[in-house]
């Protein structure tokens, strides 16, 4: 796990495993760096040489299009070489272990592994076993730190400052790594966070993370400066215990009618992919308050910043 | 061969002894316990400032043989026992195949006879293959040498079968040991359900999955008029249920393991798979309740639940890692550190819980230093500090939840039937 003493404005972590393990200063350093990288994306020639000669391996044990592509574009904008490895989870248990795969990638002289895995804690374990940098691109229900960072980056760009903002996260909190990363990052930067979901999807003791939890969508929206709408992951519903899709939309769906009662300039975010008509109406998703596509673009800048700082990390940093 | 243990502080609650005494061992038996013994012997052990106690009777140990000799064998497990001051072990029957018939008991007895370094007793399964659907031939298990019954690792879900098992165990005078877990409540859980499972994004195991089954099994024991032993108690509600049952006069005994009174779920925050155990390490509140239950005598016994696993099965993704920690070589030191040095228990009550108590439950003539008894003895340096490292284990596995911990209290010598089977390296 990344535990290092952090001097102001200096990156000292070998890995990015979660926002839980970063300081406020670490997060701000990435956001500031992402700010300067963001402009590159609008240039006619979208490439800088910062990571020339470095190799980034995307190691994905779960299907993912947007995160994988976003990391790939981020690495390429920095002139790194990118290799994509997609593996079925089932073969992990039968064949090579994650640790062995990681060590092989290290032996191939890659510099950074970006790993997506269905098991919580998998990225941290991999990071303990290799000396090269590991970026957690989502581990189970645990964390998805670059998503958290890009959500916060987008919010900061829109509002100027995170401190004091009221941010509500709505949806399947229990099974969401996006929720956890947002909670850690936002609370460290001084936002007031509320999570809102049907009771069964609010995990026990979540208030201990320094936030509020409610089952009342009206309450979650009433004073919010921003809301982050999570995708309902019906595929997680092994016991048929979740509310049905239409029922969920009726009770928790983000619609025009609901937004009318919220702050006029409320910012609507979604980590994607969106289920139109289930957690969010098309009108809201495509409406004036939505920043969903900006999030996607900002994601590249944030991931560029992460890859940049990890590639700067001195060799031999404590893991 | 005669051995004289001089000047030690002898702790033997069965004979109400807690004072500086000399102990004479002759022909494998204890032949004298007196203030001062001066006699010519083959070996003298100076035990000044040391605790001299009966060898530990650990009634919850997974030795893995036959079937998983890569994790542990009778030979390696009993060598680990010797290092931990343990001289009697009850071997759990969840081997491959399970100890569910006379032939398996015979095979196990044969291996024990050839390779065991300490006394190994046999627990048979309650149901065939430990699958919970068909009772074993319990009389045959007993006749061939099993002294207890358990499906440990699994609970018997079918209440009717459990009731029949209790009745049979009573008739055949076997100890029935219950692994209490309602799988329909704990299904797929890997850590305690609560703040920590929420932070880690891991599936939780509720207290309910344990105590509901404790409640059911005690109820069935009452109905059958049988005695029952509850294994590895981990949560506060179970403690309450057991306390009430004892008050009602139901014949229930209960055991916990050192990790349940020394470690909490917070140790898991860095996904340490050596702390992935079933039942899981619980909340601090539960840990406190287990400690109080030990002090108040609601929990009668400390046993290790020694559960060896290979590194290949532990150093992997948390969800995929096996459950369990080894414990034979640390159980006394953890107990001394957490219970004696904190003032929670006296030495007499600790010896009661680790030696004499389990011997009584199992109905064996062990756990005391009475004249004429087997000379099974542990000599312990109560203040000696040591650090738990992978290298220190003689067990075939090193999956200890206590790795990196500093403990106070170390076994200096272990004597089994009058032979010194372990001495700490100077």
Determine, for residues B201 and A140 on separate chains, whether the beta-carbon distance falls below 8 Å.
Answer: yes
Is the pLDDT confidence value at B28 over 50? yes
Gap between the Cα atoms of A195 and A168, Å rounded: 6
Which among B410, B294, B304 is positioned nearest to B352, based on CA atoms? B294
Q: In chain B, which residues have their Cβ closer than 8 Å to the Cβ of A89?
A: none
Average pLDDT rounded to a whole number, residues B118-132: 98
The per-residue pLDDT of chain A, averaged, comes to: 92
The per-residue pLDDT of chain B, averaged, comes to: 97
Average pLDDT rounded to a whole number, residues A15-30: 97
Nearest to A125 among B201, B312, B317 (CB): B317
Is the pLDDT confidence value at A4 over 70? no
Which positions 260-289 of B are in contact with A (Cβ < 8 Å)?
270-271
Do residues B5 and B47 lie in contact, with contact meaning Cβ atoms separated by under 8 Å?
A: yes
| Domains defined for chain B, CATH in brackets | 2-51+374-423 (2.30.40.10), 55-362 (3.20.20.140)
Residue A22, token pair as written in the block: 């970063």
**Percent of chain A beyond pLDDT 70?**
93
Quick check: A127 contacting B, CB < 8 Å? no
Residue with tokens 């989502």: A138
C-alpha distances out from residue B246 to B167, B296, B300, Å: 19, 12, 11
Quick check: B317 contacting A, CB < 8 Å? yes
Is the pLDDT confidence value at A317 over 60? no
Average pLDDT rounded to a whole number, residues B377-398: 98
Nearest to B198 among A93, A99, A205 (CB): A205
Quick check: A242 contacting B, CB < 8 Å? no
Gap between the Cα atoms of B307 and B395, Å rounded: 10
Is the pLDDT confidence value at A2 over 70? no
pLDDT, tens only, B214-224: 999 999 999 99
Is the pLDDT confidence value at A8 over 70? no
Quick check: A312 contacting B, CB < 8 Å? no
Quick check: B189 contacting A, CB < 8 Å? no
Residue A203, token pair as written in the block: 């995990």
Q: How confident is the model at residue A1 (pLDDT cuts 50, 70, 90)?
A: very low
Quick check: B371 contacting A, CB < 8 Å? no
What is the per-residue pLDDT for B203? 97
Determine, for residues B318 and A177 on separate chains, whether the beta-carbon distance falls below 8 Å.
Answer: no
Nearest to B198 among A122, A177, A203 (CB): A203
Average pLDDT rounded to a whole number, residues A28-37: 97
Determine, for residues B200 and A177 on separate chains, whether the beta-carbon distance falls below 8 Å.
Answer: no
What is the per-residue pLDDT for B186? 86
- Given the residues B22, B217, B305, B374, select the one marked as catalytic: B305
Gap between the Cα atoms of A200 and A213, Å rounded: 12
Average pLDDT rounded to a whole number, residues B95-121: 98
Nearest to A206 among B193, B198, B319 (CB): B198
Known catalytic residue at B376: no
Shortest Cα–Cα distance, B396 to chain A (Å): 22
What is the per-residue pLDDT for A91? 52
Q: How confident is the model at residue A314 (pLDDT cuts 50, 70, 90)?
A: low
Q: In chain B, which residues have their Cβ closer than 8 Å to the Cβ of A122?
A: 317-318
What is the per-residue pLDDT for A6? 42
For A243-247, B111-115, B281-285, which range has the lowest pLDDT when averaged over its residues?
A243-247
Is the pLDDT confidence value at B69 over 90? yes
pLDDT, tens only, A225-257: 999 999 988 877 777 778 888 899 999 999 999
pLDDT, tens only, B324-367: 999 999 999 999 999 999 999 999 999 999 999 999 999 999 99
pLDDT, tens only, B164-211: 999 999 999 999 999 999 999 988 999 999 999 999 999 999 999 999
For A189-198, A261-270, A306-315, which range has the lowest pLDDT when averaged over its residues?
A306-315
End-to-end CA distance of chain A: 6
Determine, for residues A121 and B271 on separate chains, whether the beta-carbon distance falls below 8 Å.
Answer: yes
Nearest to A93 among B193, B195, B320 (CB): B320
C-alpha distances out from residue B391 to B388, B396, B403, Å: 8, 11, 10
Q: In chain A, which residues have their Cβ closer than 8 Å to the Cβ of B194?
A: 204-205
What is this model's ipTM?
Answer: 0.93
H/E stretch holding B350? helix B347-351
Determine, for residues A141 and B201 on separate chains, whether the beta-carbon distance falls below 8 Å.
Answer: yes
What is the per-residue pLDDT for A319? 44
Is the pLDDT confidence value at B305 over 60? yes
Residue B144, token pair as written in the block: 């061939």
Which among B312, B317, B337 is positioned nearest to B402, based on CA atoms? B337
Residue B215, token pair as written in the block: 């409640």
Determine, for residues B198 and A204 on separate chains, whether the beta-carbon distance falls below 8 Å.
Answer: yes
What is the per-residue pLDDT for A274? 93
What is the per-residue pLDDT for A9? 64
């Amino acid at each position: 796990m990344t535990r290092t003493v952090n001097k102001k404005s200096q990156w000292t972590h070998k890995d990015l495993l979660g926002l839980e393990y970063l300081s406020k200063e670490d997060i701000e350093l990435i956001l500031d760096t992402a700010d300067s990288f963001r402009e590159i994306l609008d240039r006619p020639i979208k490439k800088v040489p910062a990571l020339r000669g470095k190799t980034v391996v995307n190691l994905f044990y779960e299907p993912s299009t947007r995160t994988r592509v976003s990391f790939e574009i981020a690495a390429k904008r920095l002139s790194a070489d990118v290799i994509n490895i997609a593996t079925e989870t089932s073969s992990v248990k039968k064949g090579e272990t994650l640790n062995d795969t990681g060590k092989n990638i290290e032996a191939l002289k890659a510099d950074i592994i970006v790993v997506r895995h269905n098991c919580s804690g998998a990225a941290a374990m991999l990071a303990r076993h290799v000396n090269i940098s590991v970026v957690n691109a989502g581990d189970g229900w645990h964390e998805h730190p670059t998503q958290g960072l890009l959500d916060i980056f987008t919010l900061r760009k829109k509002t100027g400052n995170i401190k004091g903002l009221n941010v509500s996260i709505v949806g399947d909190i229990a099974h969401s790594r996006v929720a956890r990363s947002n909670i850690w990052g936002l609370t460290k930067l001084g936002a007031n966070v509320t999570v809102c979901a049907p009771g069964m999807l609010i995990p026990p003791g979540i208030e201990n993370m320094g936030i509020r939890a409610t089952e009342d969508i009206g309450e979650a929206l009433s004073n919010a400066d921003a809301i982050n709408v999570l995708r309902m992951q019906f595929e997680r519903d092994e016991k048929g215990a979740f509310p049905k899709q239409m029922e969920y939309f009726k009770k928790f769906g983000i619609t025009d009618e609901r937004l009318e009662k919220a702050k006029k300039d409320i910012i609507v975010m979604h980590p994607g992919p969106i289920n139109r008509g289930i957690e969010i109406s098309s009108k809201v998703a495509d409406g004036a308050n939505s920043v969903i596509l900006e999030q996607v673009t900002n994601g590249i800048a944030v991931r560029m910043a992460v890859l940049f700082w990890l590639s700067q990390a001195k060799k031999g940093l404590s893991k | 061969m005669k051995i004289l243990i001089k000047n030690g502080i002898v702790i033997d609650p069965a004979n109400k002894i807690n004072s500086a005494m000399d102990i004479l061992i002759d022909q494998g038996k204890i032949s004298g316990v007196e203030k001062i013994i001066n006699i010519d012997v083959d070996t003298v052990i100076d035990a000044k400032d040391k605790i001299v106690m009966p060898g530990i009777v650990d009634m919850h140990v997974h030795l893995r043989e036959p079937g998983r000799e890569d994790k542990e064998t009778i030979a390696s497990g009993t060598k680990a026992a010797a290092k931990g001051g343990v001289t009697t072990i009850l071997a759990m029957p969840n081997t491959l195949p399970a100890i569910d018939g006379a032939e398996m008991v015979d095979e196990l007895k044969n291996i024990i006879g050839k390779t065991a370094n300490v006394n190994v007793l046999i627990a048979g399964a309650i149901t065939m293959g430990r699958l919970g659907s068909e009772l074993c031939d319990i009389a045959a298990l007993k006749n061939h040498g099993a002294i207890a019954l358990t499906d440990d690792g699994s609970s018997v879900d079918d209440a009717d079968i459990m009731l029949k098992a209790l009745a049979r165990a009573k008739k055949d005078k076997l100890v029935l040991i219950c692994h209490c877990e309602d799988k329909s409540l704990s299904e797929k859980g890997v850590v305690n359900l609560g703040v920590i499972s929420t932070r880690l994004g891991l599936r939780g195991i509720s207290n309910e999955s344990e105590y509901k089954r404790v409640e059911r099994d005690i109820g069935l024991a009452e109905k059958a008029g049988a005695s029952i032993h509850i294994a590895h108690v981990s949560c506060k509600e179970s403690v309450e249920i057991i306390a009430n049952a004892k008050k009602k006069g139901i014949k229930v005994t209960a055991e916990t393991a050192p990790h349940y009174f020394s470690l909490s779920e917070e140790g898991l925050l860095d996904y340490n798979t050596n702390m992935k155990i079933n039942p899981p390490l619980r909340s601090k509140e539960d840990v406190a309740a287990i400690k109080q239950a030990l002090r108040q005598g609601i929990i009668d016994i400390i046993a290790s639940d020694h559960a060896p696993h290979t590194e290949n099965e532990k150093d992997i993704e948390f969800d995929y890692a096996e459950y369990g920690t080894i414990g034979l070589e640390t159980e006394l030191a953890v107990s001394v550190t957490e219970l004696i040095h904190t003032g929670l228990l006296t030495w007499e009550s600790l010896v009661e819980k680790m030696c004499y108590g389990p011997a009584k439950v199992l109905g064996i003539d062990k756990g005391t230093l009475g004249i004429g008894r087997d000379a099974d003895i542990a000599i312990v340096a109560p203040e000696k500090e040591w650090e738990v490292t992978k290298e220190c284990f003689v067990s075939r596995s090193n999956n200890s939840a206590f790795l990196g911990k500093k403990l106070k209290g170390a076994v200096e010598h272990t004597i089994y039937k009058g032979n010194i089977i372990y001495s700490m390296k100077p």
